Amino acid sequence: MTMATGHTITVEQGTEHVRVVHNGQIIAESRGPLVLRETGCPVRYYLPPEDVRTELLTPSESSTHCPFKGDASYWSLPDAADLVWAYPEPKSEVAQIKGHFCFYDTEVVAA
């Protein structure tokens, strides 16, 4: 989808097996992430909440605004501030990512 001249975002259902590990502990693992591709940004995997160990995360007071996706909320681990984010009310163009979690360091696990 074209969001603005020269800026695009696409969201599609992925089939990749992705995992998030922090200090040797698996924080999230999914075989069905949403794959978000955005001009000028690395590919991001948005994981459904049932694939994230949310009991390990603490809500942060941080928030950011993206003119293309909306307002993001953040969560932290005791030793990793703002490790994960989500868009509770994303813009309609990326509505699929609502309630999904995204991490900075997500690895794709080889099949």
Among 35, 31, 40, smallest CA distance to 8 is for 40
Q: Tell me if the pTM is above 0.75.
A: yes
The single residue listed with the structure tokens 């922090």 is 22
pLDDT per position as a tens digit, 68-109: 999 999 999 999 999 999 999 999 999 999 999 999 888 888
- For residue 3, pLDDT over 70 is answered with no
23 Cα distance to chain centroid:
19
- d(Cα 48, Cα 98) in Å, to the nearest integer? 9
- d(Cα 46, Cα 57) in Å, to the nearest integer? 16
Where do the domains of the chain lie? 9-108
Architecture of domain 9-108: Beta Complex (2.170)
> 2 falls in which pLDDT band (50, 70, 90)?
very low
